[in-house]
Structure 1
Amino acid sequence: MVSPQLKLIFPPPPSVFINAISVVSLISSAILGLSESIGKQNLQYSKFCQVSSQNSSSIKKIKLPSRLGMLFLYLPAFIAALISWLLFPHEIIRTLLLSSTLTLHFFKRVFEVLFVHKYSGGIVLDSVIQISLAYFLSTASLMYAQHLTKGLEEPEIDLKYAGVVLFLVGIIGNFYHHYILSQLRANGEKEYKIPKGGLFGFVICPHYLFEIIGFIGFSFISQTLHALSITTGIIFYLMGRSYATRRWYISKFEVFPKNVKALIPYVL
């Protein structure tokens, strides 16, 4: 009799590395999310880089221009996704779908950095290194964990095509709300404004909501315990980040609408 878990996911791989990365990724992301939610900005970028600079000690931190720093965040992971096509060229459709969606995900990130986002500050080098390494390791380990399922019996319930749909909903919704954010300020303007349009009337971080949907799509495509652990960690982190973002807007704008939630409309 197949256990309920194995109906949905592949069995854990006989890999100490993948199992260790799964645990470390989940725990570290959850801790970062909790820290963000209680007001401690560990990853200093966007508006929180400015806040951290104002409240920091006398220790001088190296800052990169935002566009360059953000490019370094995503480029290594994009390259890792591209390389996976060369390393695993003749594997099952599930591996091909995961490789394709990861490549498209980080291509979109790089495209947005170069042509969509507008910037008003810098990004701390420590955060660039930490985030870039996390994205790179997550991408590489996701593909390797999928490779380790080669030859195993497929889960009884096939979620990979539902995962593709969720990924497309996530990437389109995320891009749309990033575009709205990019249009808030005219060229040369640096002050922040309360975003409007799309789901911004309901939550302050709809781009995070769609990011989560996209990562759930990765989990459905992969159906590995490793993908599930990374997605769960991302959810914890983005929940904390969205709470911090909402708190920042409330402190910055006296007219911020209190009915606008952090991440999920009408819920939280």
Structure 2
Amino acid sequence: MVTSTILNFIYPPPPSVFMTAASVMIVASLAILGLLEAGGVHLQNSEFTFTPYKKVPSRTVMLLLYLPAFLAGLASFLIFPDGDLRSLILRSAISLHFFKRILEVLLVHKFSGRMGVNSMVVISLAYFLSTVTSIYSQHLTQGLPEPPVDLLYPGIALFLIGITGNLYHHILLSKLRKEGQREYKIPKGGLFGWVICPHYLFEVMVFVGISFISQSIYSCSWFLATFFYLLGRSYATRRWYTSKFEDFPEDVKALIPYIF
């Protein structure tokens, strides 16, 4: 009964051990990272921490985190030129997501410090593999009957709302401290009056949109993995603000307004 209900919304799982393993691993790994964040084990640059062999400027690192995934998205248009509309929109959404991240690194975010090359390689590889696997998973659905409940167009709407809201709140954060200022401030504007991490909330919405566009097992797993990780990270962020500011509003939640 439960399985038949789920299959109304997604394509049947492909007969692939690799895809099954990848779907399980991405949820498990990011859920663990989210628990570590919530427990106070902070992961460098929002991801992983390793003893660095060599450090390079953070802006350069962040560009190299997103560039391979973006290029993989672009390359998919050449590798799979005959995909259907759903596949085309999925590849476009993923490519746009990482292109927007690259633009933010160049034009929005402010950086200081340096990051280890080995951390950069691992994180960049994770983004790249997730992108490739999601696109390949969609390719495996070609020729299969569409799910009875079509979520493509709601997915496009959610994706566009998510990517726009995420960008807007990143801009607000970038304006929080002017050049030369070092003191921390409580973010204001947008949804910061409801949650301390609205940029994460809209990031989750981006991946809900991608999972709706795709309606594949792997893309749904990618969304769940991202959600679990950002739950832990937003919880840790709120805890930091409450420890730093005595006047931090108690009704401002971590990620989900009025709930969490």
TM-score range, shorter chain: over 0.9
Match of 2:13 in 1: 12
Q: Which residue of the other structure, out of 218, 221, 225, is the alignment partner of 1:229?
A: 221
For residues 66 and 256 of structure 1, what CA distance do their matches in structure 2 show? 29
Match of 1:40 in 2: 41
Against the structure 1 CA distance between its residues 266 and 172, is the aligned structure 2 distance closer, same or farther, given a 3 Å change threshold? same
118-127 vs 17-26, which moves further: 118-127
Deviation at 1:129, TM superposition (A): 2.3
Name stretches of at least 5 consecutive residues in structure 1 with no aligned partner: none
The amino acid across from 1:199 in the alignment is L
* Aligned partners of 2:52 and 2:119 also within 8 Å: no
Equivalent residues in 2 for 1:52-201, closer than 5 Å: 62-201=54-193
Against the structure 1 CA distance between its residues 171 and 65, is the aligned structure 2 distance closer, same or farther, given a 3 Å change threshold? same
Question: 3-state SS of the aligned residue for 2:248?
Answer: coil
For residues 213 and 87 of structure 1, what CA distance do their matches in structure 2 show? 28
For residues 120 and 183 of structure 2, what CA distance do their matches in structure 1 show? 23
Identical counterparts, % of pairs: 59
Against the structure 1 CA distance between its residues 227 and 60, is the aligned structure 2 distance closer, same or farther, given a 3 Å change threshold? closer
Question: 3-state SS of the aligned residue for 1:14?
Answer: coil
Deviation at 1:187, TM superposition (A): 2.0
* Aligned partners of 1:212 and 1:234 also within 8 Å: yes
TM-score, structure 1 as length reference: 0.91
* Aligned partners of 1:45 and 1:127 also within 8 Å: no
For residues 119 and 199 of structure 2, what CA distance do their matches in structure 1 show? 20
* Aligned partners of 2:37 and 2:236 also within 8 Å: yes
The amino acid across from 1:223 in the alignment is Q
Question: 3-state SS of the aligned residue for 2:240?
Answer: helix
Number of residue pairs matched? Answer: 259
Question: 3-state SS of the aligned residue for 1:64?
Answer: strand
Per-residue CA deviation, residues 24-73 of structure 1 (Å, 9 max, x unaligned), is 101001100011011111x2127x99xx8xxx9xx666433221111111
Against the structure 1 CA distance between its residues 141 and 158, is the aligned structure 2 distance closer, same or farther, given a 3 Å change threshold? same
The amino acid across from 2:9 in the alignment is L
For residues 173 and 114 of structure 1, what CA distance do their matches in structure 2 show? 18
* Aligned partners of 2:9 and 2:149 also within 8 Å: yes
For residues 135 and 52 of structure 2, what CA distance do their matches in structure 1 show? 38
* Aligned partners of 2:52 and 2:118 also within 8 Å: no
The amino acid across from 1:39 in the alignment is G
The amino acid across from 2:188 in the alignment is K
Against the structure 1 CA distance between its residues 7 and 84, is the aligned structure 2 distance closer, same or farther, given a 3 Å change threshold? same
For residues 116 and 205 of structure 1, what CA distance do their matches in structure 2 show? 17
For residues 110 and 20 of structure 1, what CA distance do their matches in structure 2 show? 29
* Aligned partners of 1:44 and 1:124 also within 8 Å: no
* Aligned partners of 1:26 and 1:229 also within 8 Å: yes
* Aligned partners of 2:52 and 2:116 also within 8 Å: no
Per-residue CA deviation, residues 81-117 of structure 1 (Å, 9 max, x unaligned), is 1111111111100000000101110000000000111
The amino acid across from 2:178 in the alignment is A
Against the structure 1 CA distance between its residues 199 and 61, is the aligned structure 2 distance closer, same or farther, given a 3 Å change threshold? farther
Match of 1:27 in 2: 28
The amino acid across from 1:92 in the alignment is D
Per-residue CA deviation, residues 129-168 of structure 1 (Å, 9 max, x unaligned), is 2321111111000000000001111101110111000000
For residues 87 and 192 of structure 1, what CA distance do their matches in structure 2 show? 47
Name stretches of at least 5 consecutive residues in structure 2 with no aligned partner: none
Question: 3-state SS of the aligned residue for 1:123?
Answer: strand
